[in-house]
Structure 1
Amino acid sequence: MTFAVDKKEGRPASSTTISSDDVPTNMKAIDQEGGAAYEGDLMAERPDQGSNMAAFFNIVCVVAGTGTLGLPYSLAKGGWIGVGILILSVIMSIYTGILIIKCIYYNGHTRLASYQEIGQHAFGRIGLIAVWFFHTSIVLGAPIMYFILSGTEIRGLTVAHVDIPEKAWIWICCGVVSIPFVLMKSLKEVSLLSIFGVIATVVLVGVTMVDSGLEYKNTKDTVVHDDVILRNLPIAVATISVCFGGNVVYMHVEESMRYPRSWNKVLIWAMLACFLMYAMVAIPGYLTYGSDAKSPILGSLPKGTSSKVATIMIVAHVLLAAPVLMTSFALEVERVFDISVEKRGVVQERLYRTVTRLIIMGAVGGIACLVPFFDSFLSLLGALGNCMLIYVLPIFFYWRLIGWRQMPWYELLWCAVILIIGLLGCIIGSIDAIKLLHHDFTYGRPEK
């Protein structure tokens, strides 16, 4: 297999056509479960890395987030067609997740280390800056929102017994998360937390599904359902399609796998697990509450012990998911500053890594406490970042680095559908976030 490479930019020359079969992910040096690799194989077995199961839990923990609880409301906005949109979204996300990993091996002799490097190799400095902006907004913005959410929910649970301010709870949560964040170097170690995060999500889904089912007998005669609500369909598409965002950590998850050739298989199973949990919340929630379903659906459920358990599971999930995202960002920073054992030695590497991660945690906690309306700003960045990183950029990068001319017409049509949905979600989500920001700055918010 030969490649014509532009030496200046490090990408295939425009005159070269490279088929998808030429991408190293399809080389047959080892089987799915490992084995002897040919010399120079970029995807050979990595004995010191984690298992496929660990990678599975990392993906599920990041993807299946608190957005799960907003899916019944999304169906209430768009109707039963939302289930079809949910199915379409998981298929699109699997496809673009496979493409983005192919991009990191595009030239056949080096493995790109990050999403930012993919952008740089594809479109130079512009690609690097674009990915850095969107990537940072997600991997740091989401944990900030997690800390805001956890601080608010914990205060709501404890205010009757302990009068601790919300900001103090935010810093307490930061302190708890900083322990694994500082002590665990890579996603291989953090995967243990992901297992508990997935368990918390499963419990949350179970509580929501059971409570919705028990309430159905009280609402079935009055609830209103729609097959499709055309005027709200774009909003439903935008909110549902971004529920499978995990591209921000895929490069590091794949890097932490002992058998990187198993990536496609692990990704498919992880996304199907997320889809199953989404369906278990969305369908019973909309069936029971119909057009009155709230976001999050906990607002529609009867108050009691089960709702408190669900709230605790939300807090557990966000605090266990935060280290996964923050570790992804920290690995990028440490790579930029050459914070590694090879470069610094064991003692200095540990010292520099600890200081760097404490600074990152301090910045995240400070922003969560101090910046007004940050959640509204994050909604804007999330609408831009999620849709661009999940759907739009992987296709553009793949076309640029590997080529589109060899694609059959139906695959090009499929790519066009993904691009349209991604851009639609980006535009509509951004408009909604801007409206929310305008309301916040105009009228403010009541004190909590």
Structure 2
Amino acid sequence: MAEIKFTKSTEEVSLINADDQPIETTTGLNVFTTCLFIVGVIAGSGFLTLPKAIDDSGWIGFVLILFCCFVSAYTGDILGKCWIMVVNRHPEFDKAKLRYPYPTIGQEAFGKWGRFVVSFSINFTQFGGTVVYILLAAENIVTLLPSDTKITCCYIALIVGAAMTPFTWLGTPKDFWGIAAAATLATSIASVILFAAVLYNGREVDISEVTHTKVDVITFFTAYGTICFAFNGHPAFPTFQSDMANPRKFGRALILGYLIVLFMYLPSSAAGYAVYGSQVQPNVLNTIPKGVTSTLVSLLMTAHLLFGIIIVINPVSQELEHFINIPEHFTWKRVLARTITMASALFVVASVPHFSSILSLVGGSTISILAFICPCLFYLKLCRGDKDREPVHIPLHTKVLLYEIIFTGFVAGIAATYSAITDLAVNKFTVPCYVDPSRACSQQAAG
């Protein structure tokens, strides 16, 4: 029988067997491949949208990036500890019998309501992320086409969705780790090239004369939602962890993954903010001059986004299949269910063809719930124990930190959600593609 073991500060959780030895299966993801999935699911949209978010929030946007990165990594580790506690309480929840662990953590902590909140938030987040990735990929592809082409972003988005649908039929992350590796490699190369391109294009710019957007409450919290989205990964973290050969090593993969993402984000974001200022577009690729460099970055980022669609939509598909009892092995039922899921995403793409609006809304609402609030609440609740289990001691400084994260996530999440809705309704109302298929993905209403 597996047991849970707490060492040192009582927060280092290990999965052990009856002989006091760590449990490690012979198959599954290792630390490196798990890190690739973490980077693959996080990096991408943030790499393209953070320069604009920093301009909208001012220099404090850099503080927000560091804050969101630290908190996301910390709560991701807390979530990993929660999963190990749940597995030790219920050994039947092994990787062969449980598809989607985050809702199970919620149910173990707070019953059916905990599961419902997590399931809804995850599906909303990952579904919205899929929409954002499709729109960004479509916009990048349009920029690569000849200027006189009549194929618009609306049509390209449909083509992207149709082309990627067969790849979404793959099972769980361990079945397509090569896709995560390709996505990470593409983004890493693109981040270096984009940073160099911005510096080269800005070599004659007097930074002291660059103007920046006037920051107000709406732009600040909308930017906060964008930054939260840039570090979105919690919906998939327990899935990656449950697919690991040794789940207790998840924290190592998490730290390494977030460090890689941070080193991707900061240089290009700082350069874009300093060189372009208020001229930077929601997709920074639309800001840099056209040429070989911009084409290469567009190709690499489009590749990442296409790979990312497969990774991001997978948790939604698994949750749906678990709910309607579709077998885990490949069947026509999986094909039908995942095709319908992608078709639904394409309908939203056609209805709200403005990626920055969806990005800010999702980042401020459900990502705040999944990344800030739920991991901390679940950990505090699980450590209290029950009639069958002794409570686990949590040091006072850790409790204070957890409650501060919960409070910050709650307040900032409400403000960011309100700001995103207001910005969408007032400034970024867009005509659906099925009304005007000639419009662009990032086109805003006049005025």
TM-score computed with the length of structure 1 as normaliser: 0.82
Asked if structure 2 preserves the Cα contact closer than 8 Å seen for 1:23 and 1:105, the reply is no
- 1:351 is matched with which residue? 332
Matched, 1:217 2:203: yes
Aligned counterpart, 1:12: none
Deviation of residue 135 (structure 1)? 0.8
Displacement of 1:374:
8.5
Contiguous gaps of at least 5 residues in structure 1: 4-17, 30-36
Q: Report the equivalent of 1:45.
A: 24
Alignment partner, residue 366 of structure 1: 347
After superposition, the C-alpha distances for 1:45-71 in whole angstroms (9 at most, x for unaligned) are 222212322211111011112122232
Instruction: Identify which of 125, 136, 140 aligns with 2:127.
Output: 140
2:240 aligned with 1:253: yes
Counterparts of 1:209-288 in structure 2, within 5 Å, are: 209-220=195-206, 222-224=208-210, 237-288=224-275
Q: Distance in 2 between matches of 1:302 and 1:423?
A: 40
Equivalence for 2:443: none
User: Are 2:189 and 1:203 equivalent residues in the alignment?
Assistant: yes
Partner of 1:91: 70
**1:205 shift after superposition:** 1.1
Q: Which residue in the other structure is 1:115 paired with?
A: 102
Pick from 353, 375, 397 the counterpart of residue 410 of structure 1: 397
Structure with more helix by fraction: 1
Amino acid at match of 2:188: V
Contact persistence 1:234–1:424 (CA under 8 A): no
Question: 1:209–1:284: 8 Å Cα contact kept in structure 2?
Answer: yes
Determine the structure 2 residue equivalent to 1:124: 111
Label 1:70 to 1:370 Cα distance change in 2 as closer, same or farther (>3 A): closer
Partner residue, 1:295: 282
CA distance in 2, matches of 1:400, 1:388: 16
Q: TM-score, normalised by structure 2?
A: 0.82
Q: Mark the runs of 5 or more structure 2 residues left unpaired by the alignment.
A: 385-390, 440-447
Amino acid at match of 1:397: F
Deviations 1:74-121 (A, max 9, x none): 333444443333222222111100111222232423247422222222
Q: CA deviation at 1:405?
A: 8.3
Letter in 2 for 1:26: S
* CA pair 80-296 structure 1, distance change in 2 beyond 3 A: same
Check 1:336–1:39 CA distance in 2 against 1; reply closer, same or farther (3 A cut): farther
Residue 120 of structure 1 aligns to which amino acid in structure 2?
Q
Deviation of 1:278 (Å): 0.9
Deviations 1:312-358 (A, max 9, x none): 233212111011122222222233333336xxxx6xx5332222222
- Matched residue SS, 1:218: coil
Whether contact under 8 Å (1:114, 1:332) holds in the other structure is: no
Residue of 386, 407, 415 corresponding to 2:367? 386
1:14 is aligned to: none
Distance 1:145 1:287, change over 3 A: closer
Pairing of 1:187-202 with structure 2 (within 5 A): 187-202=173-188
With over 3 angstroms needed to count, the CA separation of the structure-2 counterparts of 1:432 and 1:237, relative to structure 1, is: closer
5 Å-filtered alignment, 1:311-326, equals 311-326=298-313
CA RMSD of aligned residues (A): 3.4
Conserved 8 A contact 1:239-1:425 = no
Equivalent residue, structure 2, for 1:34: none
Provide closer, same or farther for how the CA distance between residues 329 and 40 of structure 1 changes in structure 2, counting only shifts above 3 A. farther
What is the distance in 1 between the residues matched to 2:352 and 2:204? 43
